Amino acid sequence: MKFTKQDLLTLLIGLFLFASCKNPDGVGLDVDPSTAITGTLVTSEVRSETIAEPAANTQSLTRYPLGYMVDPVFGTTKSSVAMTIIPNELSYDFGTSPVLDSAILVLKIDTTVNKFYGDTISSQYSIDVYQLTNKVTTYKSSDVQAHNAQLLGNVKKKLYPSTPIKVYDIVPGKADTLKTLKAQIRIPLDKTFIQSQILSLPTTGTSTNAKFVDYFKGLYAEVNKNTSTGVGGVAFFKLNDSYLQLVFKKTNSSSGIDTTSINFPVSSSASAATIVHDYTGTAVDTQLKNPPTSFPSPYTVTYTQGLAGVKTKISFPQLDAFTSTYGKVVVNKAELVVDLSAGTYTYPFTPIQRLSLYRWDIANQPTTTPDYSTTSPGVIGGYYDSLKNRYIFIVTNYVQALIDKTVKDYGTFIAPTGIDAYQVVPTAITAERSVFGASTNTTNKVKLNIYYTKIN
């Protein structure tokens, strides 16, 4: 075989390049140095267990949960809403001899992501409305908001959280106008009750918000599980856009009888949600009543659920002895990989779209891990990967601190959070749930990948 001068030159250059390459694993890869993962990879054990969430604060929520659902894995969940109604206009005058045409509680469905969780295809939702016995003064999701026994209103229908509706807008002295509005639930209320409780009030009854609330108390909405059908679900409502609409006739000195409309807004800052989880007979209940006392855990999965349900507590037992095993190291990158357990994420009970990872401080108060950034909250990860059915958290700084023992692990937790908010406290604004593979799961498991460089 004959070589030309050009062939020999090409061969020599190629040999020189390969001989000078110190990292053969990188040959042929076009890698951005700022994102490349270098160093030795070790996969460390992660222990996990299911624990109950404490009650959530439900005052001034961005959206409020209302619903009832029966989950074959997580049992039943019920969320009801206690609403404080306030006057739209102080010292409002209903006029001479007002007569109520209609009273409708209008609940605006949240139009952002994850506005509904559960079944919208076959389930029918029967929503009852009552008057509160007392005004709302407590806001924990575990607080019971008492209501009177008289049923004021009910609507039974399928819920279409993305479908606009058409309603007539009442304009005094003009023809009614048909409008298309965003998705909402409209519940007709007892006219006799509203006539006597609100339209018969003197102007002093609405002279201040406090006076009206002391008198009227508020309204309570819940899903009636006995008259609903299907597995159900939970809808989320923007209470600060919701209201009690009154349409009534009053005597007008110039034109006789006039039909007019007024809206009494719902005050989200003085409303609350009551959330009840019943895990009786489920594997979730088994784990809560019989937490693992030693590891490896007897359970192959752990559970995490929104609406202040349950969360997964994790720990990293091998990090305590990491230095003695591998020497002093610099962690180049560490990622916590959380796999969903196979077959646990089908419609209508789909996985949580985003999780939070947080820890306890020395006082057992929740705080973020060292990798969380308020300026770049998405960097830490926790988003659902629908292709690989998993979540990944970046925990480089946290793992380095645990290895160096500059931070102590008083408790680390995986819990639901809002898509647009990274919460370290129990959430009442999402109802999603996920089932994770534990370290003893043979096919899907939680694990900690650490890329490190040894320091001489």
pLDDT tens digits in sequence order for the chain, 456 residues long: 444 545 544 544 454 444 444 443 333 334 455 556 678 999 999 999 999 999 999 999 999 999 999 999 999 999 999 999 999 999 998 888 899 999 999 999 998 888 999 999 999 999 999 999 999 999 999 999 999 999 999 999 999 998 988 887 766 666 677 888 889 999 999 999 999 999 999 999 999 999 999 999 999 999 999 999 999 999 999 999 999 999 999 876 566 677 888 999 999 999 999 999 999 999 999 999 999 999 899 999 999 999 999 999 999 999 999 999 999 999 999 999 999 999 999 999 999 999 999 999 999 999 999 999 988 888 999 999 999 999 999 999 999 999 999 999 999 999 999 877 789 999 999 999 999 999 999 999 999 999 999 997
CATH number of 31-54+288-454: 2.60.120
DSSP code of residue 290: S
- Burial, 249: exposed, middle or buried (Cβ in 10 Å; 0-12, 13-18, 19+)? middle
pLDDT score for 8: 47
**In this predicted structure, what is the pLDDT of residue 287?**
98
Q: What pLDDT was estimated at residue 173? A: 63
Ranges in the chain annotated CATH 2.60.120: 31-54+288-454
Total Cβ atoms within 10 A of residue 112: 12
Predicted confidence at residue 23, as pLDDT, reads 42
Q: Which amino acid is at 385?
A: D
* Terminal-residue alpha carbon distance, the chain: 49
Whole-angstrom distance, CA of residue 32 vs CA of residue 39: 16
Residues 52-55: contacts with CB under 8 Å, at least 24 apart: 52/288, 52/309, 52/310, 53/305, 53/308, 53/309, 53/310, 53/311, 53/415, 53/426, 54/308, 54/426, 55/140, 55/141, 55/142, 55/143, 55/308, 55/426
For residue range 302-333, list pLDDT tens digits in order.
Answer: 999 999 999 999 999 999 999 999 999 999 99
Taking the C-alpha atoms of residue 289 and residue 31, their distance in angstroms, rounded to an integer, is: 49
- CA proximity to 224, closest of 64, 108, 68, 65: 68
Provide the whole-model pTM.
0.88
